[in-house]
Chains A and B, each alone.
Chain A
Amino acid sequence: MTIETKDELRQKVMDLLRDNVDEPALLDKCGPDDDLSALGINSLTFIKLVIATEMEFGVSWNDEDLDFRNFSTINQIMNYIRLNQSEE
């Protein structure tokens, strides 16, 4: 998969989040560096989000390397995806 522009990436991440958090309505109020735990992301939804991300972007993480902290803000998720895409 090709590397999207930053805006495209953000849009996709937002869509993913919208599909995978308890309260999507709150997402619009969430800034790019705000803590996503306020949206109800816990250790289980986190994995759900990871899997959705993997499928969407064609990346694949080793379970051992998955770290909740890489998914705590929108910007972090974006950076993490870009980092992993470029590695592949």
Chain B
Amino acid sequence: MDKLASQIFEQVAKGQLDEKAALQLLRTLKEQQTTESKEIAIIGLSLRMPGADHIEQFWDNLTQGLDSIGPLSEERQRDSLSFIRTFTQLPADGIQFSHGGFMQDIDKFDYAFFNLSPKEASLMDPNQRLFLQAAWEAIEDAGYGGSRIQGSKTGVYIGYADWPAYGQYITKNQPSQIPMASIGNTPSIIAGRIAYMLDLQGPALLVDTACSSSLVAVHLACMALRNAECEMAIAGGVKVCLMPVDGLFEIGIESANRRTSAFDDSSDGTVWGEGTVALLLKPLSQALRDQDPIHAVIRGSAINQDGTSVGLTAPNAASQEKLLIRAWKDAGVHPETIGYIEAHGTGTKLGDPIETDGIRRAFRHYTKRKQFCAIGSVKSNIGHLDAASGVAGLAKAIVSLKYKKLPPTLHFTRPNRNIPFESLPLYVSDRLEPWETNEEHPRRCGVSSFGFSGTNCHLVLEEAPLIGGSTADTKQDQEPDLGDQPRLTVLSAKSRPALERLMHAYIHRLPELDGSFADLCFTAQTGRGHYSCRLAIIADGISSLRDKLSAALEAGLEKLKDAAESGEGILYSEHRTTSGRREKRQQGEYTSDELKTRSEAAHQLIQQAASSGAGLDMAGIEELARLYVQGAAVNWEELYEGQRRSKLHLPVYSFEPSRCWIDSAADTYTAWSMPMAAESYKEAGAASSASLNRSAADNAPMLKGRADSSYTSTELRLAALWADLLGLKEIDIDDDFFELGGNSILAIRFEVELEQAGIPFESEQLYRYSTIREAAAYIEQQSGESVISPVVLPNIEPFNDLYYRNCFYNSFFPVVKHFGGSILPYLINDLLLYQQADPEGTQAYELCYEEIEPQETLFAQMNLSVQPRPAYGDIDIKQMIIHNLSQGNPVIVWVDCYEIPFRSDAYQKQHVDHTLLVYGFDRGTEMFHIIEHDRRENLSYKPCLIAFEDLVRACRGYETQGQQQEQGGAYYIIQHQPGAPYREPELDELRQRFESHLTQHRHRLQESLAILQQFAAWFIEVSSTEASLKQHIDSIIETLNQVLNAKQVEAYRLTALYGEGAILAAHHECVEHWETIRKGLVRFFYVPVYQTERIEAIQAKWEQLLTAEQQFLSQLFNELQPI
């Protein structure tokens, strides 16, 4: 090259080559030289480590010498148990969770960001989810977010060495989910999914060499970049421990004292950990040309194998020696210039001496200097991340180079007696030190990772060159970067909370930002995707930007939304693309044509500014900001044509931490039903097939998006089906199937399910009609006319076990069960108390239900909202009911039985107030589905049909003819809180509640018993003469009926809580006495002949009754109350 250059100079001197051409030639020559260079730049870096969610936090932990080893959190233990139960024989009480380097939330994942359904995401291996987010962050960190990387020749190289326990759990316990889970649990798809999502066209593969996997993956990525197999590469590793239990999956190198004390004499092994690291790599020469931000440079690397060594899994000093020498040669550096080695450093008594010996052997070929190179191991901080351990060490080396400091290795107090450090080129870095270097060469270090499989890898790193990413040198040949020039900064996210978190991250990072304001704006515009929640800020410098971000957060995005430009230079808006067919649009909903117009306007604006040569003026910036927040797709690159701008490391997308985890409650296979395996598989299949009725019951999806909230039955059916297929609780009628996480496989399932329901629909049509509105319209059109199929809420069973308080509950309890709840909380909520009745009433004594907690509290606990409406007024009752049923909300109405045709006791005979549960309608036959009995005081509730008009008349009748004694409401709409779980309380919890009621209200119950004694005394007096008995017989029988109904409630709840037993037997005795008394008195009621003998028998029965009641109460207290 030097020869070629001097020839060019000679020719210029001789006048044979003109100066311009010569300059061109020299430039090309220089470029070619850098292209051939082997160095690889690390331009993007993202990590999640034990105790650290990003690089800064990781570095803080390292410099502070933090040991991130600890116990597994309780949440994680809970999640772990079902795996342990499935894959091990451990008894529940024999599980001892290990200490380790654990990540906080391996169950959290932003499924919506990646257009995955919550259901599919929950069935996805956490390794796949975590690496997907890490890779995305690394790409953004390098300023390649949005469309910049799409379609590029980028490769994906991931180190991963686990057996897919998550997927196997599903195979074993939820076989019916295999079709949906298979993609998310195929290891190679950890790499393939990123490539697919971003249209990356380089190689995508996993590397498994055990512990060295991830560093080998980085090495292979570097080789591929050098060989031009790809232009950029994502590299990294991921490790999650699903079953961190002492004694399980141990390989014999685990530390007993839960510490990795690398190189220390007390070392006794390693501790396992979790984490993920993703890097974005690119040839250094190209990164410099592209002005990419550079974290560090990989100068060279090598991999080799132990071959036939002492043992398959034992390390080998000779091959480690060869490895280092080859890596140094590859890097073209003299080993004396290496200031630090991040060792494999597992902290085992044998492994550490072998590693240091290998390093010594390698160095001795080049130097005799002692103790000049520091050594350390990140395993002492975070544990051994198995396949991801190599990139964890690499991450530590990168940040050390970045911050020019050497962080300490922990738990090093006395050198391992088998390592003669005094005669080695090495010393252990056991305190935080500045990383000194002479001016002759940049800071350099090595990273080692050795595989249990025998495959070893070593990388040589160098700090980032000063030019390029840094601003100082690039400023001169660009437009002057005056501090006071206003510029546009844009931030966006798919949700408002995510945007707010991003804003906080900016506020936090800006003070220490390395780079110019102009480059910041450039990176935020060109290096990120632009999503629906958009913020634009016009500021004239970094500190002004920071102030405005704080001001925007303070004002609140909701308030700023679509507010007129206030002169503050802060604009915020949320938009959504919608189909033009939609009848009524919400604010921020634009058609793609409207958005196109806006994008075109932005384009014109930029073009005009460019042709004027002056750039955008203030008015232009404001206009661009406005177009941007309203959804314009701005080609930001155009704005910078002819300029050289550098990308900066800016805060990356803040993902929504939504829980995505396998639901062990949905397990259908149990180990002890082995011979029945085939059978249970069949059941599982049947149960999970998204049958239309069942899905509606389980998911009861909320359909929204239409102004009048009325939906056709076809729309409701499709919504139920989507909800089941995608695991959603709420769907907008204009949501796109594929944006919700639908894919071609789910589209086929959709077709199959519809076919089973007799609705023809080909899956390909879903690509054309991808919203519920469109698909339903298509289906209805295909079938000739609107499909008028009935809507009937599923799982509504009449409740005939007992009377509770009044008929409202016979209507309400089926609803509680429909929503997956339990009626017991209601039944145990009452104190049943005898009372002296209101003297003005007809009864002398009565039995009252006294609520302990307000009903509203119970509704809320069950996630139910019961909305009483005081009167029908002039509402359209039919429409009101149909509308609510369409939403999946049952309705309970008060009626007058006078208008109910099948009420033989009352129809056109007498006016009786009553409630009905309405749970379905059929527009074809004009009938409502209701639950009703055919006469009063009869537990024969059953599903019935009633004509629309009859029901409406009965409701109206209630208001005009009824007594309306029941206060509260004329009708009730019952809704399950959207998104809330269907809660069935545990029996233990209910027992405790019941018992604490007893304790708290003991004196009330005793008082009540005293009143019962008064009642008895009063009865004996009243029954002493025929005349007075005749006078009171009606009211006495009414009281007895009340009591016996209440006794039934009492028996019901005792049976449910405690089963058959002494308490129930004592209770039963009371009931028998009550029954006998009632029989006797009813006899007198029908045949009012005063037979002294019979009356005396009744009076005697009262005495027995009082004894029995007293005994029952004592037993209740003694057995159920802790002393």
Complex: A31 Cα to B1087 Cα, angstroms: 30
Pair B1079/A66 contact, Cβ less than 8 Å: yes
Assess whether A47 is in contact with B1083, with CB atoms less than 8 Å apart.
yes
9-residue interface stretch from B134-142, B370-378, B726-734, B933-941: B933-941
Given contacts A48-B1086, A51-B1083, A51-B1087, whether A42 and B938 have CB atoms under 8 Å apart is yes
Name A38-78 residues within 8 Å CB distance of B: 38, 40, 42-44, 47-48, 50-51, 55, 63-64, 66
Contact with A22, one of B905, B1041, B1072, B1076 (Cβ below 8 angstroms) = B905
Q: Are B1079 and A63 in contact (CB under 8 A)?
A: yes
Q: Are B1082 and A48 in contact (CB under 8 A)?
A: yes
B1040 to chain A, nearest CB (A): 10
Asked if residues B1079 and A40 are in contact (CB atoms below 8 Å), the reply is no
Contact assessment for B938 and A40 in the assembled complex, using a CB-CB cutoff below 8 Å: yes
Within 915-968 of B, Cβ neighbours of A (below 8 Å) are at 934-935, 937-938, 940
Q: A22-B904, A37-B940, A55-B1087 are in contact. Are A47 and B935 (CB under 8 A)?
A: no
Q: Answer yes or no: A34 CB below 8 A from chain B CBs.
A: no
**How distant is B8 from chain A, measured CB to nearest CB, in Å?**
111
Cβ of A4 within 8 Å of any chain B Cβ, yes or no, is no
Tell me, in angstroms, the Cα distance from A43 to B1085 when the chains sit together: 14
> Is the CB of A23 closer than 8 A to any CB of chain B?
yes
B1097 at the interface (CB under 8 A from A): yes
Tell me how far the C-beta of A57 lies from the nearest C-beta in chain B, rounded to whole angstroms: 15
How far is B1087's CA from A55's CA once the two chains are assembled, in angstroms?
10
In the assembled complex, the Cα of A60 lies from the Cα of B220 at a distance in Å of: 101
Interface centre among B1072, B1079, B1080 (most CB of A within 10 A): B1079
- Chain B residues, CB < 8 A from A44: 937, 1041, 1082
Contact A63 B935 (CB under 8 A): no
Residues of chain B within 8 A (CB-CB) of A22 are 904-905, 935
Is B1087 a contact of A63 with CB atoms below 8 Å?
Answer: no
With a CB–CB cut-off of 8 A, which chain A residues contact B940? 37-38
B1076 touches A51 (CB 8 A): no
Residue of B nearest to A20 (CB): B1086
Closest to B1072 in A: A64
Check A47–B1082 contact: CB distance below 8 A. Answer: yes
| Binary CB contact string for chain B from 1025 to 1060 against chain A (1 if under 8 A, 0 otherwise) | 000000000000000010010000000000000000
Chain B nearest CB, measured from A16 CB (Å): 13
Chain A residue nearest to B1097 in the complex (CB): A63
A side interface size, CB within 8 A: 16
Partner of A63, one of B904, B905, B1044, B1080: B1080
Residues B1088-1112 near A (CB distance < 8 A): 1094, 1097-1098
On chain A, the residues within 8 Å of B1087 by CB distance are 51, 55
Chain A residues, CB < 8 A from B1094: 63
Residues of A within 8 A of B904 (CB): 22-23
Nearest Cβ on chain B to A41's Cβ, whole angstroms: 9
Contact among A42, A50, A63, A66 with B937 in the assembled complex (CB-CB below 8 Å): A42
Whole-angstrom distance from the CB of A60 to the nearest CB of chain B? 10
B535: min CB distance to chain A, Å? 69
B1039 to chain A, nearest CB (A): 14
Whether A63 lies near B1083 (C-beta < 8 A) is yes
Contact residue among A43, A50, A64 (Cβ-Cβ distance under 8 Å from B1076): A64
Nearest residue, chain B, Cβ from A37: B940
A40-B935 contact in complex given A22-B904, A22-B905, C-beta closer than 8 Å: yes
Bound complex: CA of A44 vs CA of B1045, how far in Å? 13
Q: A64 — which chain B residues lie within 8 A by C-beta?
A: 1072, 1076
**In whole Å, how far is A86's beta carbon from the nearest beta carbon of chain B?**
23
Residue in B934, B1076, B1080, B1086 with the greatest tally of chain A CB atoms within 10 Å: B1086
- Cβ contacts under 8 Å, B1076 to chain A: 63-64
User: Nearest Cβ distance between residue B907 and chain A, in whole angstroms?
Assistant: 12
A46 to chain B, nearest CB (A): 9
> Hey, which chain A residues are within 8 Å of B1098, CB to CB?
63
Complex Cα distance, B1042 from A44, in Å, reads: 13
Residues of A contacting B905 in the complex (Cβ-Cβ under 8 angstroms): 22, 40
The smallest beta-carbon distance between A38 and chain B, in angstroms, is 8
Residue of B nearest to A47 (CB): B1082
Q: How far is the CA of A44 from the CA of B1087 in the complex (A)?
A: 13
Shortest CB distance B1101–A (Å): 8
**Residues in A neighbouring B934, C-beta threshold 8 A:** 40
Chain A residues closer than 8 Å to B1083, beta-carbon distance: 47, 50-51, 63
- Taken together as a complex, chains A and B put the C-alpha atoms of A50 and B1041 apart, in Å, by 18
Q: A63-B1076, A64-B1076 are in contact. Are A51 and B935 (CB under 8 A)?
A: no
Set of chain B residues within 8 Å of A48, measured between Cβ atoms: 1082, 1086
Partner of B1086 from A40, A42, A43, A51 at Cβ < 8 Å: A51
- Closest Cβ neighbor of A55 among chain B residues: B1087
A31 to chain B, nearest CB (A): 18
Query: Could you tell me the distance between the alpha carbons of A76 and B1094 in the complex, rounded to whole angstroms?
Result: 26
A51 and B1086 CA atoms in complex are apart in Å by 8
Closest chain-B Cβ to A24's Cβ sits at a distance in Å of 11
Contacts of A43 in B (CB 8 A): 1044, 1078
Q: What residues of A have a CB within 8 angstroms of the CB of B938 in the complex?
A: 40, 42
A-B residue pairs in contact (CB < 8 Å), sample of 7: A22-B935, A40-B934, A43-B1044, A47-B1086, A48-B1082, A51-B1087, A66-B1079
Given contacts A37-B940, A51-B1086, 17 further A-B contacts (CB under 8 A): A22-B904, A38-B940, A40-B938, A42-B937, A42-B938, A43-B1044, A44-B1041, A47-B1082, A48-B1082, A48-B1086, A50-B1079, A51-B1087, A63-B1079, A63-B1083, A63-B1094, A64-B1072, A66-B1079
State the 9 A-B residue pairs at the shortest beta-carbon distance, nearest first.
Answer: A47-B1082, A63-B1079, A63-B1080, A64-B1076, A63-B1076, A51-B1086, A48-B1086, A51-B1087, A40-B935
